[in-house]
Structure 1
Amino acid sequence: MKRFFTISGVFMLLLVSQTTFAQEKRVMKSFTFKSDKSKKNSEDKTTIYEGNVMMKNDNISFENAEKVIYNAEYGTYTIYSPKNFKIIAAKSVHKTGKKEDSHVIIYNMREESVTF
């Protein structure tokens, strides 16, 4: 009987530790994206969206951007001259301080970070 409780206890600890240490998988609840033109480059795994680009998801939203370059390899969106850019939620926000890049915003979807 003692052995049964020991085995049951170890089994329960394994079950609890599995759910405790499992990696969190984030799922986007909503994602809206529109543009006038798009062009995909399979070699460097990028997609270029041009003309009135609009995006809204759980973390950021903007409208009427001139151009957005999505890099699928790194999960980044490079956003050029967006209007009404809003950060809804982000794990980190960085500012480069470079004056020439003042109209460029980089959003990393995997890290949930925004760089100005």
Structure 2
Amino acid sequence: MKRLFTISGIFTLLLFSQNTFAQEVQSEPKMVYKGDNIKKNTQNRTIILTGNVMLKTKNISLVNAEKVTIDEKNNTVTIYNPKDFKLLYAKTVSKKGESNKNIIVYNTKEESITFQ
């Protein structure tokens, strides 16, 4: 009887401790942005920011970009001529060709950066 009580007590403690030590599910990554002009197209699910664009996510940060296009359908952020670009984290970083277009494409789903 004493053994049954001990086993059931341990089982109960394990059951309740699962909620205590479980990790929180992270919410959707947040993106903060502002620019002189903002155009939202709800049909295409795109946002075009122009003029002194500032953008901050958990993985990238930039200020004073000429233009930024956020494509929610394709999970991409295209950055044109950023003045101060900071890469905080990326799973993959690549460069396309030898062009000096100063365009950066950030894939929010794959967490990848492509310099074009």
| TM superposition score normalised by structure 1 | 0.69
Change (3 A) 1:24 1:90: farther
Matches of 2:104 and 2:57 in 1, distance apart? 16
1:92 aligns with 2:91: yes
The unaligned stretches of length 5 or more in structure 1 are none
Identity %: 35
Q: Which amino acid aligns with 2:63?
A: E
Which residue in 1 is equivalent to 2:78? Answer: 78
Which residue in 2 is equivalent to 1:25? Answer: 26
1:21 to partner: Cα distance: 5.9
1:10 aligns with 2:8: no
Is the Cα contact below 8 Å between 1:90 and 1:114 reproduced in 2? no
Q: For residues 14-38 of structure 1, what are the alpha-carbon distances to aligned partners after superposition, in whole Å with 9 as ceiling and x for unaligned? A: 444456664641687x975320111
Q: For residues 39-66 of structure 1, what are the alpha-carbon distances to aligned partners after superposition, in whole Å with 9 as ceiling and x for unaligned? A: 1111221111111212245532222212
Say which one has the larger Rg.
2
Q: For residues 74-97 of structure 1, what are the alpha-carbon distances to aligned partners after superposition, in whole Å with 9 as ceiling and x for unaligned? A: 54321111112112x204241133
| TM superposition score normalised by structure 2 | 0.69
The unaligned stretches of length 5 or more in structure 2 are none
Change (3 A) 1:112 1:5: farther
Q: In structure 2, the residue corresponding to 1:95 is in which secondary structure?
A: strand
CA RMSD, aligned part only? Answer: 3.2
Which residue in 2 is equivalent to 1:40? Answer: 40
